[in-house]
Amino acid sequence: MIHDSAKILVVDDEKRMCESLQTLLSNAGYNVTTAEKGEEALNKINRNDFDLVITDIKMPQVDGLDILKAARTKDEDALVILMTGYASLESAISAVNEGAYDYLMKPIEFSDLKLTIQRALEKRRADRDRQDLLMELQERNLELKKKVEELDALYKAGMSLSTTESLNELLHRIVSLATQVIEAQSGSIMLIQLPENVLTIEATTGLDTDIIKHTRLELGSSIAGYVALKGEPLMVEDIEKDPRFSHFSRKHYATRSLLCVPLKVKDKILGVINLSDKRTGNPFTDDDLRLLTTFASQAAIAIDDAEQFNQNIRKIAELEILYDIASQLSSIENFGEVCSFIFQKIKTIMPVEFALWFEWNEKAGELMLSLCLGCENGRRKPTIPISRDEICSSEKVNEKIRESLKADPDYSIYMATLISLPIIAENSIHGVLSVGNRRQMNLSGEQIRLLSIIISQLASFYEKQKSLLNITRLVTMGNLVSEITHDIKKPLTNIRGTLQVLRGKLPDTKDKDKYFNLVEEEIFRLDGLLKEIMNFSNPNKFELEKKDIASVLDRVLKLVEQDLLSGSISLRKEYQEGDFALLDKNQMIEVFLNIILNAIEAMPQGGELKVKGNRYVEVNSAKEFIQITIADTGCGIPAENLNQIFDRYFTTKSEGTGLGLAVVERIVKAHGGFVSVSSEVKKGTRFSVNLPAA
């Protein structure tokens, strides 16, 4: 674009003239370059692009007309204004013939020169705008013509396909239209089948039924597999002469010329369209390939829409099943009825013909088959030795069950398609569900994920039974707590008062303070146990506020500072400020204090306590959590006790209620978090408290 800061070259062998014009034009807002010699001007013209050249005609060696020619040679639309103090008709005619914009006499009035420059630059601007517009119009016309042709082809294809809803009917219509338009003798549509990644024939014209039934092509094999893998259309004029495919042409094909085009929606390959031999006997052409490619793009959209519609129908059916299970499972009390109910629902949405229900005996380390549905025999109830780690892995538990039952005559016929998934909730393993069929039909990844969701709902049944038992215990305990506390606290108060009286009346002896202090400590300990029971059975309402976890941990570690020092326990702090969570500060202090005091008790000979904090995103929920890990190097927890440490009333201590860690778990759950633990005997224990980040 030409504007007031246009680049102007002034050429004059008079230095004062160059300087004057440079000053005047620069003050007017132009970008001015000068040259006092013709040779210098030619070099600058060749190296730079100027919007306007103002040059004197009469100069030694290289004159103004030479500069005009050079500028017009480089740019036929270049603007050049010639100046002269020796005007002649001959020089004026030469200037006009060479394409000068104007011819000015010296001395030049600057106002006249300025007006001439403005007009020249406006002309250059108009010429360039017009040229740009013409070029743009030409490009637009070409694009428009191309778009009209493409839209015409897409419109015809769309009108032929848009009225079909059935996928099977749609595929046959696509093949029929493609063979008619391109005048092919035969055609077929092959779709990719997942998860096997093979092509199967779904619709044809002119192909033998036996070929349709037995054709299953891996991606990359054969011409169709090659196109499906590469995602690019392919034309073969003579298959026997094509070096890419001649090595298997006679064995696999009875045709000579063929077209194969991918059915592609964005980057997703659905399958391919194949056309064989033109009816005229001539080979296919590039126009045929272009037309089939255009048609295939529209057909792929129609196929994808039909598949999406079918998938939506399946999704609705699956959601209805999940809703039925979720809404009705809570009303079924009997385990056998629950299993039968879920089995019937599963069969309606996936190829499942039998189900094996295993219970987990943790102490014995084995799975026990408790129920077999859909099995013809299944009278025996085998047990399968297995570790906890193996059960937690779907692949490992599935392989273990297959290996254990493959030689069993009652169950071996079901093992080929077996899928086994553990029933786990709240870190508790309740058992394993195995399903399959006798038709050698494998479940898809989507079906396995759906089965996992159903099993998670089944796990809730086990948790409900466990919760009912716990509720019964809590109700019983709640009824007793008021009586227990009343009966115990009153004698404790009397004993404490009596001790104070006796301490004042009895004479001082060597062991007086020792024994009195011992009794008082025991009274305080009993009082603490009563408070622990009261806190557990009558939890206070949480008062949540946004707090930095680091401040809570600092407070707790300050409380146990003397215990760490006296127990020869070193402390490693690996957390930082800035990790906030919504929490009740006092309740969380109780959580961390409980865990840390247990860790200190586990290291009577000294050791190391490590408190670490980090943030992470939970994969399934995509929620951000803050994890506080408290690890010790103490005696550890035996494996047989590890799954019970959060159970109410469970304790391995000679003294205590067994409610400490149960309270910890209750408080963390009330904050929307969870607690996990790992331990190894004689090496230490690691507790992880996970809280939602604020």
Over the stretch 480-503, which tens digit does the pLDDT of each residue have? 565 566 567 667 777 777 777 777
Cα–Cα distance between 441 and 684 in angstroms, integer?
Answer: 48
Q: What is the pTM of this model?
A: 0.38
Residue 417: per-residue pLDDT: 83
Answer for the pair 354, 414: CB distance below 8 angstroms, yes or no: yes
| 257 dihedral zone (left: phi>0; alpha: psi -120 to 50; beta) | beta
In 3D, which of 314, 349, 346, 342 has the Cα closest to residue 328?
342
Is the torsion defined by CA of 367, 373, 376, 380 positive or negative? positive
Task: Give per-residue pLDDT as tens, 545-581.
Answer: 889 999 999 998 988 888 898 889 999 999 999 999 9
Domain 545-692: assigned CATH number:
3.30.565.10
Please name the fold of domain 167-312.
Beta-Lactamase (3.30.450)
Residue 2: per-residue pLDDT: 45
The chain-wide mean pLDDT, for the chain, equals 80
Chain mean position to CA 99: 66
Q: Please give the order of strands across the beta sheet that includes 624-632.
A: 569-574, 607-617, 624-632, 684-692, 674-680
Please name the fold of domain 332-443.
Beta-Lactamase (3.30.450)
Residue 1: per-residue pLDDT: 41
In 3D, which of 589, 628, 588, 637 has the Cα closest to residue 610?
628
In 3D, which of 617, 587, 579 has the Cα closest to residue 694?
579
Residue 150: per-residue pLDDT: 47
Answer for the pair 382, 408: CB distance below 8 angstroms, yes or no: yes
Contacts of 685 (CB under 8 A, 6+ apart): 599, 602, 631, 632, 634, 636, 637, 677, 678, 679
Residue 202: per-residue pLDDT: 87
Answer for the pair 178, 295: CB distance below 8 angstroms, yes or no: yes
In 3D, which of 392, 453, 455, 458 has the Cα closest to residue 427?
392
Contacts of 490 (CB under 8 A, 6+ apart): none
Answer for the pair 344, 353: CB distance below 8 angstroms, yes or no: no
Contacts of 166 (CB under 8 A, 6+ apart): 306
How many residues make up the chain in this entry?
A: 694
Enter the DSSP assignment of 224: H
Integer angstrom CA distances of residue 124 from 11, 49, 82, 101: 20, 13, 17, 10
Answer for the pair 421, 443: CB distance below 8 angstroms, yes or no: no
Contacts of 339 (CB under 8 A, 6+ apart): 355, 357, 371, 373
Give the residues of the chain that fall short of pLDDT 70.
Answer: 1-4, 87, 146-165, 243-255, 330, 333, 377-379, 426-427, 440, 460-487, 489-490, 510, 525, 528-542, 621, 644, 647-660
Residue 535: per-residue pLDDT: 58
Integer angstrom CA distances of residue 3 from 81, 106, 115, 475: 18, 27, 14, 90
Enter the DSSP assignment of 483: H
Q: Please give the order of strands across the beta sheet that includes 102-105.
A: 31-35, 7-11, 52-56, 80-84, 102-105
Would you tell me how many other CB atoms lie within 10 Å of the CB of residue 388? 14
In this structure, whether the domain defined by 7-131 belongs to CATH 3.10.20.30 is answered with no
What six digits make up the tokens of 214?
Answer: 């037995």
Residue 654: per-residue pLDDT: 44
